[in-house]
Structure 1
Amino acid sequence: MELKESPTAEAGMLIRRPVAEVFEAIVDPSVTTKFWFTHSSGRLDEGKPVEWEWRMYGVSTRVEVSEIVANERIVMQWGDPPTTVVWSFTEMPDDTTFLEVRNFGFAGSGDEQVNQAVGSTGGFSLVLAGAKAWLEQGLTLGLIGDRHPKGISAEAVSD
């Protein structure tokens, strides 16, 4: 199967918090660990690689920020092989923010790229839902940790 366009994972969510607060939730691991990864070697900053860990799964990834525009945009590369993730923060009326994330640059055959994009879309949808719950209500939902519980195979989850 030949793809005419590279598959892109996309997810977006309105978060009822000011744009500066939503932006900070993505760059500051003391906040991000409330709804996404469990540990980080530091804050997101342009040109300073960090390591993110999901200790419940025993996995980690290196994250490199290639561009950061406060309260507007973060462009980062992560994974092996690396893909690009673009976070876009749009200030909305009434101190709300539309947070959109796009992930692209997947490797492999067309089918493999599509499967990675579908999985990434689902993952980022959970991240945004978790961010919304934390930032709006102070709730830690455990969405990422509960996505792949022990004893459930990845094949069973995707069926």
Structure 2
Amino acid sequence: MNELQAKAGIQISRPIATVFNAIVDPSEMSNYFIETSTGKMEAGKTVTWKFPEFADKVPVTVLTVHAPVSIVFEWEGAPGNQLKVEIHLEDRGGNSTVVKVIEGDMPNTEAGIKWLRGNTEGWANFLACMKAWLEYGIHLRQGAFDYMKPA
């Protein structure tokens, strides 16, 4: 059986340094993804993310940061599974950056396929929200997942 990886990518009309900073700096990331973080993403550090729609706090262990081209971290990407997330940035010139996210690996099982669907959707949402924020100053995530909060 092949292992499964969630993958998503998007092109953002901003310089690579701006996009990179929006990923590692919690004051930027809070405009499109998280509510709060205990710190900036730096190699060797563990930060804790809080998402606006959930009470849980998520520890994120930053493995490597190579400004401005990549960030690699581990987190509990599926219940009971520490998964590696790689974010790669490519300068496309003309004030444009391609961002690609890869998360994995999960077994090719029914549970793995369910994870793949959800996390691929989640990373596509992350990228779309980041694009909306960086290009247009729109906070797409705000209120978008309120329906998921316990009643």
Task: Give TM-score, length-normalised by structure 2.
Answer: 0.90
Q: Which residue of 2 aligns with 1:98?
A: 98
- Amino acid of the structure 2 residue aligned with 1:84: K
Which structure 1 segments of 5+ residues have no match? 153-159
The 1:55/1:140 distance shift into structure 2, 3 A limit, reads closer
CA contact (8 A) 1:89 1:98 kept: yes
**Aligned residues, how many?**
147
Contact kept? 1:20, 1:71, Cα under 8 Å: yes
The answer to whether the 8 A contact 2:15-2:96 is kept is: yes
Q: Please show how residues 2-151 of structure 1 align to structure 2 within 5 Å.
A: 4-79=1-76, 80-106=80-106, 110-142=109-141, 145-147=143-145, 149-150=147-148
CA contact (8 A) 1:46 1:66 kept: yes
Deviations 1:12-67 (A, max 9, x none): 00000000000000000000010001010000000010000114221221101111
User: What TM-score comes out, normalization by structure 1 length?
Assistant: 0.86
Q: Secondary structure at the match of 2:140?
A: coil
Normalized per residue, which structure has more strand? 2
1:84-140 CA distances to partner (integer Å, 9 max, x unpaired)?
100000000201000010110236x71111111110000011110000000001111
Q: Deviation above 6 Å: which 4+ runs of structure 1?
A: none
Unaligned runs of 5+ in 2: none
CA distance 1:151–1:33, change in 2 (3 Å): closer
- 1:5 Cα deviation (Å)? 1.4
Q: Kindly, what percent of the aligned residue pairs are identical? A: 29
